[in-house]
Amino acid sequence: MGSVRPITEEDVPAVLNLHQRVLGKSGGQSGAARREKAFRELYICSPMQNSLIRPLVYQERDGRIAGFLGVLMRPLSYKGKTFQCAVSAHFCVDPASRGFAGAQLLTAYMEGPQDLSIADEANDTTRKLWHWFGGDVVLLRSLSWTLPLRPFRLGLQFTAKRAPNVARALPLLRPLASMAEGLTSWSHASLRAPAAGLIGEPLDAETMLQCQAEFRDAGTLQPCYTAESLKWILDRVASHPSKGPLRKVLVRGPEGRVAGWYLYCVRKGEIGQVLQVISRPQDTGAVLQHLAHDASTQGAIAVTGALDANLYQAVLNRLSFIRHNCWMLVHSKHHELLDAFHQGKAQLTRLEGEWSQHLE
């Protein structure tokens, strides 16, 4: 029988080897080097780490590392109080040790000193384990939205993922999809039209902190960033070329009033990955339209993000489609924190979740 303990720097090579074997990551020596650098930044030297709540490994009696659970801290504020939130990621267990090792890792994690535990990219296996430990599923946050910008190319990409023959023919089919969109642009031009009366400008960490303070609502569960921690996480997301450049845009309305802001990663010809959309309630639709127009100028075929209560109506109004990709799970002894999620009063985005812990 093995045991669970916090990770040490000496464990990194063994954990990365386990991660590659279990989750099937590849990419040659350069890819392995990037993952190791990202892993050390996240779990060994991150300013988001907490001395009491650390990433965990399961070590067999023979010294072999057979399980890992990554953890980053997120201080939160709610109704005038500060809470410590642990966001888990990269939960993986050696197939030869499954069952007991996974249960031991989750037991140690759930019994930690944090006020709230979150996993927002969980699969069915993890969902069942969390349920056994008393975790809750947040149904709305387990859905994602996708706003088409170039519908023919988006449909072609979705089809190619499910049909190998279509995937092989993509170089021939893409020009045809572009031609079809050109001929029918009148029917979907509104999807990427400019947002009337709004102006976008670059957003930096300092301005974002000021806007967060201005938009803060004591009745909403929200992250508490410092200048150091926010800059670190934004730099980290922007440092991964596989995601595409990180676009950070502040949106102003008439007379310079801040309407909101958004963050997303985008590569030309692909689906833009939205990390965060924050706005005043009356401006949500306009800010979302500004995002769509900005993404279209960057060559995105669509934008997609996690659904939440603040975006729900605006997303439905813009011919988006909604689907289930993964589960958002929460666990806490504080019922008021769980209620905040179930009542749509938790403003935790992909910037705070597992997405920002991706290694590539």
The domain locations on the chain are: 3-114, 144-327
Contact, 303 vs 109, CB < 8 A?
Answer: no
More confident residue, 1 or 18: 18
Q: For residues 107-119, give the mean pLDDT.
A: 94
Strand partners, 3: 59
Axis-axis angle for helices 151-162, 170-183 (nearest 10): 150
Q: CA 77, CA 115: separation in Å to the nearest integer? A: 11
Alpha-helical segments (H) within the chain:
12-23, 28-43, 100-110, 124-132, 151-162, 164-168, 170-183, 185-188, 205-215, 227-238, 284-297, 312-316, 335-342
The tokens for 165 are 């023959």
SS3 percent helix, strand, coil of the chain, rounded to 5, is 45, 25, 30
Query: For residue 158, is pLDDT > 70?
Result: no
Architecture of domain 144-327: 3-Layer(aba) Sandwich (3.40)
Strand partners, 89: 70
Q: CA 140, CA 125: separation in Å to the nearest integer? A: 19
Query: For residue 43, is pLDDT > 80?
Result: yes
Per-residue confidence at 186, pLDDT binned at 50, 70, 90? very low
Question: What pLDDT, on a 0 to 100 scale, did the predictor assign at position 165?
Answer: 60
Helix (H) or strand (E) holding 120: strand 116-122
pLDDT single digits (tens) 235-278: 988 887 678 899 999 999 988 899 999 999 999 889 999 999 99
Query: For residue 49, is pLDDT > 90?
Result: no
Domains 3-114 and 144-327 share a fold: yes
The tokens for 270 are 């692909």
Contact, 89 vs 275, CB < 8 A?
Answer: no
At 307, give phi and psi (nearest 5°): -85, 140
Q: Tell whether domain 3-114 is in CATH 3.40.50.1110.
A: no
Q: CA 144, CA 167: separation in Å to the nearest integer? A: 24
